[in-house]
Structure 1
Amino acid sequence: MVRGSCVLFRKYGNFIDNLRLFTKGGSGGMGYPRLGGEGGKGGDVWVVAHNKMTLKQLKDKYPQKRFVAGEGANSRVSALKGSKGKDCEIPVPVGVSVTDENGKVIGELNKEKDRILVAEGGLGGKLLTNFLPLKGQKRVIHLDLKLIADIGLVGFPNAGKSSLLSKISHAKPAIADYAFTTIKPELGKIMYSDFKQISVADLPGLIEGAHMNKGMGHKFLKHIERTKQLLFVVDISGFQLSSQTHYRTAFETIILLSKELELYKEELQTKPALLAVNKMDLPDAQDKFHVLMNQLQNPKGTVQGTACTLLRRIDRTSCPQGSHIQQQKPLEIRAFYRKVKE
């Protein structure tokens, strides 16, 4: 195994995962009635995928978020057939889903140079249109990014996902003793001295009913689709969102998280998973851990098969104290990732 140590975790601040854009195809060119000349077609608007592009870069570069293609050339004596207007290309990151204002999916861009036509240019003036040009198509589109990461951190609010990242890396995510500290995805890369790297996505906490879009569940669950492996982070003391909701043990938390993924999209259950049992510095944590291990090994009909068998490894952690963290650092994550790839 290649030796490597974590040298940097680059955090991408102000992460943006969706944008609303106005697009308009170019108008056609005027026809030439006396000589039967045909005006040029208006330019089209395309969305094109680029590996090194981000939605934040797109927003910063085009703050108006308006994209209009060029107009077709008018027909004239020296060129009876007018030339086509200039196309407009919108550079977007790979992994973007494009929808219209009504939520209808126009298409997805899953690899470099994928392209989708979002607004068509108008026809040039000709005999059928009384030599008058047609206007280009107007369309409001939504760009929805599904993160592409090697490892996705999954858990209920306040489980310690951000704290875990801060211990295994140089990242300094927002950490506080209340739920929903992470309100948007954080994407970064753990880079090693041999120049290998693993991307990690710290996803906002899920809640029960996320598969039905409770707590913006679909907005967060969509990112899990684009991760190669999952790292479940679970509080050994269990989870309770509020005094009005049921208390869940650590075992129930694992089952519920797994169930939310399955109900949202069944194929998510096939992703290999690692489990980090966090907050092991709390009183009675060791006793609770032994109970949890017994429940995972002997679910007694509570689990529908795959929820436990997908867990490739279980680690005990205590993020505030750092115990069991420095020993594993990202090497354990890397070893897990390499093993799954092989």
Structure 2
Amino acid sequence: MVRCSCPLFRKYGNFIDNLRLFTKGGSGGMGYPRLGGEGGKGGDVWVVAEKKMTLKQLKDRYPQKRFVAGGGIDSRVSALKGSKGKDCEIPVPVGISVTDENGKIIGELNKEKERILVAEGGLGGRLLTNFLPLKGQKRIIHLDLKLIADIGLVGFPNAGKSSLLSQISHAKPVIADYAFTTLKPELGKIMYQDFKQVSVADLPGLIEGAHMNKGMGHKFLKHIERTRQLLFVVDISGFQLSTQTQYRTAFETIILLTKELELYKQELQTKPALLAVNKMDLPGAQDKLHELMYQLQNPKDFLQLFETNMIPERIMKFQHIIPISAITREGIEELKNCIRKSLDEQDNQEKNARHQNQLLNLRISNAVSYSEPPSKHAIPSS
């Protein structure tokens, strides 16, 4: 693998979002043949979610990336049943997906203190094993971090996502007037007067072809999977990555962003979405906004501007469209209110769905109990 010495990848390297680890359960203890003793079971290896842990801390603390549980205690005359070996716990951040060497998902850790068994200890020696212990399970696992946030900011580089995050939350991301300022995910929290907190994730900017892992494609897209809602942030004046790439209007930007999400994983398009039209402080922004609103209301009339392979199957429907300026703070309070309203609506919908499922399960349970035939021991009615 060729290593790139450019600052872009060096900076991103400080943020680790995946690790490959070797794990091994402890071997069982020896049995005691003469007295029918049983050796202790080997210790297990667990992955445990901790709130303030990061994958970089894990790598720094355990540079060998090897986790082996303790062996079971041998059976002996004074203790015919040996004690279990010491378990090994791997501390990981909340929001980790654990997969095996073949890419099969072992489990996910979405809350603090949740745990997953990744390598089981071997059985102790006993009569069934001719009193010989069994070895512990060996397993290569992959830890994959996917951020968990209420809102994920979606946009091309230099759309103003970092500036917006600094305005709506207490986060202090790096901000500069050039593309790819954000090289690692930044998390901020919007604080409301009733003490409600909403987490917002500012993610590295997408580029065309992100679904094919161009730029920071998969590093960006996988984090979006763990956000409840999407907030598209587009520059009202459009976007052009470099002089070698094509200029895109704000409307074209939205269509291309939607297509990138679709090509990576169609389910991303089902998430509730809002649109922040940024940089409204620029000259001519109001006229461009009127044009954009008309295009969003009549998208099919403008899709002929695109090549067929760039048109998404499903056009994104935004619950709220808010013109803003992250510089002058125009529309910032309205945006925060719309975010809160949208999340509250989603909470109510999810609550009603759970209630409907409970009622449905109750009806099914009652229907089954009524349809059961009476017991043959039941006393006949007179």
Residues 12/53 of structure 1: CA separation in 2 closer, same or farther (3 Å cut): farther
Provide the secondary structure at the position in 1 that maps to 2:43: coil
Shift of 1:237: 2.1
Shift of 1:280: 2.7
Residues 194/204 of structure 1: CA separation in 2 closer, same or farther (3 Å cut): same
1:121-150 CA-to-partner distances (Å, cap 9, x unmatched) read 122234555533333223232221221111
Mapped partners of 2:139, 2:192: distance in 1: 44
Cα pair 2:27 2:41 within 8 Å, conserved: yes
Mapped partners of 1:20, 1:73: distance in 2: 30
Residues 187/14 of structure 1: CA separation in 2 closer, same or farther (3 Å cut): farther
Residues 274/99 of structure 1: CA separation in 2 closer, same or farther (3 Å cut): same
Provide the secondary structure at the position in 2 that maps to 1:10: helix
Shift of 1:65: 4.2
Cα pair 2:26 2:135 within 8 Å, conserved: yes
Cα pair 1:96 1:146 within 8 Å, conserved: yes
Match of 1:174 in 2: 174
Shift of 1:189: 1.6
Higher-Rg member (1/2):
2
Paired residue total = 302
Provide the secondary structure at the position in 1 that maps to 2:33: coil
Shift of 1:256: 1.2
Mapped partners of 1:114, 1:230: distance in 2: 26
Residues 106/5 of structure 1: CA separation in 2 closer, same or farther (3 Å cut): closer
Residues 7/239 of structure 1: CA separation in 2 closer, same or farther (3 Å cut): closer
Mapped partners of 1:7, 1:129: distance in 2: 58
Q: Which has the higher helix share?
A: 2
Structure 1 length-normalised TM: 0.75
Matches within 5 A, 1:84-123: 84-123=84-123
Mapped partners of 1:81, 1:224: distance in 2: 50
| Structure 1: segments with no counterpart, 5+ residues | 301-340
Residues 283/4 of structure 1: CA separation in 2 closer, same or farther (3 Å cut): farther
Residues 209/238 of structure 1: CA separation in 2 closer, same or farther (3 Å cut): same
Mapped partners of 1:202, 1:4: distance in 2: 25
Residues 23/116 of structure 1: CA separation in 2 closer, same or farther (3 Å cut): same
1:156-213 CA-to-partner distances (Å, cap 9, x unmatched) read 1111111112233443311223222111111122234543211110011112222233
1:10-67 CA-to-partner distances (Å, cap 9, x unmatched) read 9999765333333221111122233343321101111234556554565566565443
Mapped partners of 1:116, 1:249: distance in 2: 47
Match of 1:286 in 2: 286
Cα pair 2:169 2:189 within 8 Å, conserved: no
Residues 71/197 of structure 1: CA separation in 2 closer, same or farther (3 Å cut): same
Shift of 1:240: 2.2
Q: Which has the higher strand share?
A: 1
Shift of 1:153: 0.8
Residues 191/101 of structure 1: CA separation in 2 closer, same or farther (3 Å cut): same
Provide the secondary structure at the position in 2 that maps to 1:79: coil
Shift of 1:275: 1.3
Mapped partners of 1:245, 1:3: distance in 2: 25
Match of 1:247 in 2: 247
Identity of aligned residues (%): 90
Mapped partners of 1:87, 1:60: distance in 2: 21
- Indicate the larger mover: 121-130 or 134-143: 121-130
- Greater relative CO, 1 or 2 (CA 8 Å, sep 6+): 1
Mapped partners of 1:295, 1:167: distance in 2: 28
Provide the secondary structure at the position in 1 that maps to 2:289: helix
Cα pair 2:169 2:191 within 8 Å, conserved: no
Cα pair 1:10 1:189 within 8 Å, conserved: no
Shift of 1:74: 0.1
Match of 1:265 in 2: 265
Cα pair 2:162 2:202 within 8 Å, conserved: yes
1:60-107 CA-to-partner distances (Å, cap 9, x unmatched) read 665654432221010111222222212223343433210123433222
Cα pair 1:9 1:188 within 8 Å, conserved: no
Shift of 1:286: 2.8
| Structure 2: segments with no counterpart, 5+ residues | 301-380
Mapped partners of 1:2, 1:168: distance in 2: 40
- Indicate the larger mover: 62-71 or 98-107: 62-71
Structure 2 length-normalised TM: 0.68
Mapped partners of 2:151, 2:299: distance in 1: 27
Match of 1:308 in 2: none
1:227-264 CA-to-partner distances (Å, cap 9, x unmatched) read 12221111122222233333221101001111222232
- Indicate the larger mover: 154-163 or 21-30: 21-30
Match of 1:15 in 2: 15
Matches within 5 A, 1:183-202: 183-202=183-202
- Indicate the larger mover: 167-176 or 215-224: 167-176
Cα pair 2:171 2:187 within 8 Å, conserved: no
